[in-house]
Structures are given as structure tokens and as C-alpha cells.
Amino acid sequence: MMASEGIFITGSGILNPLGRGHLSTLRSLKNSVRGIRNINLFEVAADQLMPVANIDTPLKIEDGIPRTHALALAAAQDAMEGHRCTPDAIVIGVTTGGMSKSEVLLNSGVKSPKEFAYHGTGTVATYLAKHFSCHGPVFTISTACSSGTVAIKIALELIRQGKANRVLAGGVDALCWFTYFGFLSLQLLDPKGARPLDRDRAGISLGEGAAMFLIERAKNPPPGSVTQVLGGGISCDAYHPTAPHPTGDGALKAMRDAIADAGIDAADIGYVNLHGTATMDNDASEAMALKRLFGDRIPPLSSTKGMTGHSLGAAGAVEFAICSLSVSEGIIPGNIGCMNLDSSLGILPVLKPESRPVKIAMSNSFGFGGNNASVIIGSVDVRPPDRPEAHPRSLQVTGLACLTGAGDMDASFQKFSQGISIAGTLNNEEISKDLSQRYVRRLKRISRMALALATAAHKNAGGGGKPSSIYFGTGWGPLSETYDFLTKLFESDMRFASPTDFINSVHNAPAGQVAMEFKSTGANMTASGGDYSFEQALWISSLLASEKEALLLFGADEMHKELSPLFDPSVALDTTPSDGGGAIMAIATTKPSGPTVTPLVYVMALKDAGWTIMNDLNISDDINAHYGAIFYGIPLAYEEMARNQLTNFLSHSGFRGPVIDYRKYTGQYAASSAVAVVLAIKTIEKGFLSAGLTGTGEVSLGKNGILVMGFGPYCTAIGIHN
């Protein structure tokens, strides 16, 4: 057992409609300030005008960055103020990325990919990493409204499992046309402003914000720390794309897992910050879960979204900051906006702010796709329980699948192993030929790809037990739905848009479809970090999965003729439009046998990349005794940088085996590394590389593995062994 160490909040920054900084936010909480008002960020027709919670604080917008990036930087600068250290890793929850800028460019007909350089959700974390000189792992979580809370849980596990001592984590989202008109199309905006738990509540008030935290491991509370992260729980409803489980099953599991992870009892919780969106279904589902968890001893609770609005990917982080204030300042915020309590819910919120000591608080976040997360915050004098020393797990492969321009896995591997290109695209009918047409009739390209990959991998695993958790990496998410939603919106002069396209446009929608297909109620993660999204999903699975847990890991990206060349600069440079993905059914374990996949390296590009990679590979002897081949991927947009990194690595490592450029065969798209991992596993099962692939003759692998490496803005390595 490890001696108990605390994981403390040593720096924090919050920017929300109640103000910038803790003092301003605390003052607003004490005075029940309602930050919901008419929108002033963009024009809206009078008959479409709904109250929102936008931030009036002036922002420093430089280098053409979108509003989301400016919000994130402001909060992160406040969190890092007074700290001379550099974060070992960064984890950010976000749903819109640079959409606030991209949608304006698209509506103006701009066609230059350079103008969309900050579109991707992953660009927020990368922007912060460059600003704060973080060279370690950078993760972007896009699980709708639970993104910020999930980011904190992942930061906690990075520290617990020895992958970092100091993590900058949080959530951010800015208001934009896309989300405003999306929720308007769903008729989920309350014209009177959010009224959580009110009997007449009629929906949410959209908000925006950012909250960032410097989280550090220490035996004793570091100077300046006022709270600590005690635990977190993550679950999935696997029930409906948008509606929560009617009896709160998923919410209950997330809360129970968080309490168990923190090593406390439910009775220890002194305050619950509700997800409390003020929709009929969400408030009822959460109330049901709370009653099942606490019985007749429900602690003081409130939703603060009647003050802050619902800031989507930022909401969990903003409410984590409010819980931290509750613990450090002894305040229970009021459930502002509720005028006529809905007695049918059976819970009694704190309606006006109260001063009372709070030693431990819980924050809930429940998002589209049934993605649920809860985190536990404690005062610095709470002693965390001793816990076994934890290590990231490898994935023991039980099933495989991939989709490429050549077809399914067998067709793709047959061509690849002969050194023949598998670039290109399949049509939607080919992708979903083995799926129920009734089920997929409303789904567009990437969700069909996700279901096809998942069902094929499950079948390849023997079709037995289904995965309890789902981990998904996508560089750009559902582009077809995004394009169709915006096109209809622009063509109607901001009057009409498809609610179905909006629902299915969220990055986590494909993983949500897979969870519903398999009834997977464990973690449901979507990582979206450009060319490194699949690698991020793999890393996160190795951190979150429990020993012997069955899971599905997959990556996919779709080719969209209009958006892909604008958003992905490597696609713009390729002559063959391509897309696809790869999927792995696996058992998470620290004692693998058979084919295994292990995340090894994830660092920001450095001049001496070879030395850094070799250091993280932790190989003390000859690399040729461990690996028989390298599959590497180079995004065309970063070709010169990446080839220099590869040359530097080969020089430092002394590797002498075949070195295969997998993007030469798959084509250029973000999730091509997922395909490469599947092809590497198949190659290891075969035992040798053919002459068509090596160009020099057949090469036996013996008992050696294959390194699947990525180069460019980040350097990554995944170990494949048998």
C-alpha cells in the first residue's frame, strides 16, 4: 500500500458570467447574482432572443485565436500565477473548440485552411501547452457537458499512476451560433432564464466560461492550497442520445464510483453541486439518483446554473471551482432561479446562500450521450485513504476490426501486407452493410463507421461478452452533421436548423451510439486531439480501466469534401481523399498475455526528439532485441519537421529493422494511427513482413514487437507485442 498522499489544488482560475477570479465569483454567490441576460456577443432576431449567460469581462484576443482559446488562457494564467513550475501534462474538457471563429469564416465563404488553424477542439490544449512550455501529454476530452469534470478525473489518475506530478486541468467553452441555434432548435432554452428544480422550468440558459486548476501531488498541503481532489467516478447511461436515464441509473453509478474512489461514505458529503440544468428530464433523473444514493439523509444541495448558465464543456470545471469555494469559504450557494419548487422531485435545494462549514463536496455533470461524471473535493486536512500502488494498464487484444478505402480488415490487411495502397473512401452503404438499416437510417457517416467498427471487432472477438467501457478517438468528429447543420442555418438566414444534425454533431455522439448498442455503462470517453486523438484515447483507457475490464478502443474520422480540407491541413495536401478507422476489443491488465497494445510515449515535439523518445521507451539495452519493425505516421502538413524527428530517433536508437510509412498506404486522416495499430497486430500474428511491404525481402519478426510511432507537433509511440 502507498502511504497516503494528497492531490491538492495549488492554483486555480475561473472566468464566468459572475466575474473573473475567486473573490468576484464568491461575492456573486453570496449575493445570489444572476448572470443571465440578453446576449450581446452576436445579433439574434427578436423572435429568437433567449437569455444567456455571456461573459462581459474584456478578453485579450491575440494571434487570431478564437474566443474559447482566450477564455482558456485567461483562466490558466490565473491558475499558474505565482508558480514558476511547468505542468507535466494538460487535460482540457471542451466541446466547441474554435467554432466561434470557424462558423463566421464558413458563412463568409473563406476557403483558406490557414484561417481554420484553431478550429479543432484539441487546439485549445495545445495552445495552452505552448504558452506554458508543457512538453508532456496533452489530452482533450469532448464528452459534452461532462467534459470539464472528466478532465479533472483524468488529471487525478495521471498523478495517481505516476505519469505526472503536476497537471493543469479544467474546462472551457465559448458561446457561438452553433450551440445557441442548436439548443434553440431543440426548444431547450427557457425564455425566462434557467430555473433549476422549479415546477415551471422550461430548459437551460446557455452560458460560457473557463476554469483551470493546477493539481499537484504532495504529502502535506503545499503553500497556498485550499482544497484537494479526493476522487471521481465516470459512467454512461447507454440509454438515449440526449435524454437521461429516467431513474438516474447512470448518474447514480457515477456518484457511487466517485464516493468509493475517494474512500469516503455518502454521509461524509456536506454539499452537492447539482448538474441541475433546469430541463424537465434532467432534474427529475438527477433527483431520482440522489434519493437512491442518500435515502432520507440528502445533504445540502443546489444548482448554480441559474446564476452561471450552462457553459457545456466548461460547466463541470466552473462548478468544481464553486465546490472548492464552498469547502474553503464555508458557503452553500443558493439554487437561484427557482421560484416555485417542484415538490414532485422529492429533494429540497438550498434556495438562498448559507454560511456553514463544508469539509467535503461533490460536483455532478451529466451530458449528451449519457456521459456522466462526478468528482469529490475535500478540505486540505482530509486524509486520503491508503491505496494500492497503481500503474497504467496494457490492453490485451481479443478482437480487431478496421475500415479503409480497401474495405474491411481482411481486405485491408491483404493489400497492406503486399505493399498495396488502402487509401480511399467507402460509400455509406458499404460501411453499414452489416448494420440494421432501420437503426442507422438517421445516422450519417462517422456514426455508421463507429457502429460498423464496434460490431466487427466484437464479432472478431467471438461475439461473447460485450465491452463495459468505450474509448474513442476522433480528430474532427461528425463533420457531415456539422456541415449540414450550419448550411441549413446559413441558408435560412439564421432561422432554421436541424435538431437531429445538432444532436449528432457532438464529438461524443458516435461513442454514445456504440454504448447504446452494447449497453456499456462504464466509462464512455471521447478524445479529440487532431492527429493524436486515437493515441489520447488509448492513454486514457490505460489510466481509467480497471484490472480485467473488457473495453472497446477505437478511432475513426470521416472524409468530408468541404470541411476536411479546411480543418485538416494534411488532408488538403493529399491527392487521394481517404478516411476510415480501427477498433480493438481488449482486456485491460497489468499482466497481459497474447497480443497487447501499450501506450509508451506522448511528448510535444522537441529538437532532440530521439533522445526524449528513447528515454520514455525505457529500453536499457538494444532496441532491436525488443522490436522487429516500426510503423510510423507523418502528417503531410508537418512533413519536414516529422522526417527530421524520425531521422533523429533512428540515429539515437540504432534501430535496424524495417521502417514503414503507414500513411503512405492508409492516406491522410487523423485516425489513420488506429488503422496502423490494427495492421501491426495482424502483422505480428502473421509473424513476418512481406517483401512487398519492406521492398527488400521477407523479414521475420521472431518474438519481437512492432512500434507504431507518430511524428509532427507531438511524438508518440505505441508498443505492440505478442
CA distance 75 to 257: 29
CA nearest to 360, candidates 423, 430, 273: 273
CA nearest to 69, candidates 113, 114, 122: 122
Sequence-ordered list of residues with C-beta below 8 angstroms from that of 421, at least 6 positions apart, any chain: 405, 406, 415, 576, 664, 665, 667
Told to judge if 69 belongs to the known catalytic residues of this protein, a careful annotator would answer no
- Dmax over CA atoms of the chain, in Å, equals 78
HSE-up of residue 360 (Cα within 13 Å, Cβ side): 21
Phi and psi at residue 404, to the nearest 5° = -140, -175
CA distance 683 to 261: 39
HSE-up of residue 570 (Cα within 13 Å, Cβ side): 28
Q: CB 56: neighbour CB atoms within 10 A?
A: 11
With 0-12 / 13-18 / 19 or more C-beta atoms within 10 angstroms meaning exposed / middle / buried, residue 353 is middle
Residue 189: beta bridge partners? 204
3-state SS string for 344-386: HHCCCCCCCCEECCCCEEEEEEEEHHHEEEEEEEEECCCCCCC
CA distance 602 to 673: 14
**Of the listed 22, 135, 310, 458, which one is catalytic?**
310
Told to judge if 458 belongs to the known catalytic residues of this protein, a careful annotator would answer no
**Of the listed 69, 119, 145, 245, which one is catalytic?**
145
Give the rounded distance of the alpha carbon of 453 from its chain centre: 20
The DSSP-derived string for 494-529 is SS---HHHHHTTSTTHHHHHHHHHHT--S-EEEE--
**What one-character DSSP code corresponds to residue 186?**
T
For cell 486540505, name the residue.
380
DSSP three-state, residue 220 = coil
Q: Are 36 and 205 in contact (CB under 8 A)?
A: yes
For cell 511547468, name the residue.
86
CA nearest to 474, candidates 498, 453, 499: 453
Q: Are 139 and 539 in contact (CB under 8 A)?
A: yes
3-state SS string for 333-351: CCCCCCCCECHHHCCCCCC
| Number of helices (H), then strands (E), in the chain | 25, 25
CA nearest to 275, candidates 227, 323, 329: 323
CA distance 274 to 272: 6
Q: Are 682 and 701 in contact (CB under 8 A)?
A: no
Beta strand 580-589 with 394-403 is: antiparallel
Told to judge if 145 belongs to the known catalytic residues of this protein, a careful annotator would answer yes
**What one-character DSSP code corresponds to residue 275?**
-
Query: Which cell goes with 709?
Result: 510511432
**What one-character DSSP code corresponds to residue 681?**
H
Residue 136 identity (one-letter amino acid): G
CA distance 677 to 635: 16
Q: Are 536 and 529 in contact (CB under 8 A)?
A: yes
**Of the listed 135, 275, 507, 721, which one is catalytic?**
275
Give the rounded distance of the alpha carbon of 636 from its chain centre: 25
- Show which residues are catalytic: 145, 275, 310
